[in-house]
Amino acid sequence: MISSFPGEGNLSGLEPRNFQKGINGKNTDLFILKNKKGMEVAVTNYGCAILSIIVPDKNGTYANVVLGHDSIDHVINSPEPFLNTVIGRYGNRIADGRFILHGEDYKLTVNNGPNSLHGGPTGFHARVWDAVQINEATVQFSYLSEDGEEGFPGNLEVTMTYRLEDEDNSLIIEYRAETDKPTVVNLTNHAFFNLAGIDNPTSSIESNEVTINADFFVPINDVSIPTGEILKVEGTPMDFRSPHTIGERINEPYQQLINGAGYDHCYVLNKFEAGEISLAATCKDKVSGRKLTVYTTEAGVQLYTGNWLGGFTGAHGATFPARSALCFEAQCFPDTPNKPHFPSATLMPGDEYQQVTIYQFGVEQ
């Protein structure tokens, strides 16, 4: 498997040879996606990780607006293993790494305090996916997650497509999955955005202005597991229904912010009907003028403010301190398998898991 559209001369400065490696009988590679407006996205089939997203600012200056690495070894050994990767089989946390499905008790790998996080330490983010670059703007990934992988039941066949649109500088991510046994599925992409562009050090996102299309959020306990409640954002620092900068309230002595060491919460998106593609969130960087708009079919979006980033080094010497990135992870609610009153994340044989999430980039003067 070799990329059909070589990456030499790409805006990201990434070199294909630094991403070509054999791992457990499969080969990794670099894939460069481009649209007619000049937007460029670099990805690898190791974890379907996004390596760079190159978009212009209000002055036409291009920069990479996701935290990333410049070699496959750095991706594999990253201090942040979920950096811009696909997350599965279950994004976010499952309490105590256990759940019961149709009377069967399943035990998962615990990798986040007492809980299972993002599918476990060898989840989808740490797998080599089969890849085909369909055209200059599209790459498709596929992976068979075998029955029992990280404790999850059923053979799950997953297909993901990353596609750039020409008209509005959108990165569209489409997910499809089928199983041969009842299982739980909650897929997302864990992109770490900084609209100012990565740097040494990469700037704080606390000045970024954010809106989230949600009247409610999912509160968490001190180990980041949902309490089971669905609370109103009104009258709390969790309220982004109108624009607020991240730094405006992130350090308030509000218990939910203390529990998450900042924002690390799932928002219940306002929907007219389940599964519709609708607005989830916006983010603006006033200095560069760059704007990110997120649309999704999912019921929730996790806002994470890079609270645990430790200042490690990434692509081209850029460094990533705490709160130097924002994540908008479209997903089901955390710990849904143990919260029967939450919208179900169960996938049955004969059904198809489907998700579409769009990251649209623009500028405002």
Active site residue: 74, 125, 190, 265, which one? 190
Cβ–Cβ under 8 Å, residues 232 and 226 = no
Residue 265 annotated to the active site: no
d(CA 137, CA 160): 14
Cβ–Cβ under 8 Å, residues 197 and 318 = no
Cβ–Cβ under 8 Å, residues 303 and 192 = no
Q: Which two tokens stand for residue 260?
A: 């998450």
Q: Name the β-bridge partners of 293.
A: 282, 360
- Sequence-distant (6+) residues with CB within 8 A of 24 are 128
DSSP code of 278? Answer: E
Short-list 129, 138, 137, CA closest to 187:
129
Active site residue: 329, 341, 352, 364, which one? 329
Cβ–Cβ under 8 Å, residues 93 and 108 = no
Dihedral over Cα of 37, 43, 48, 50: its sign: negative
Residue 69 annotated to the active site: no
Active site residues: 190, 329
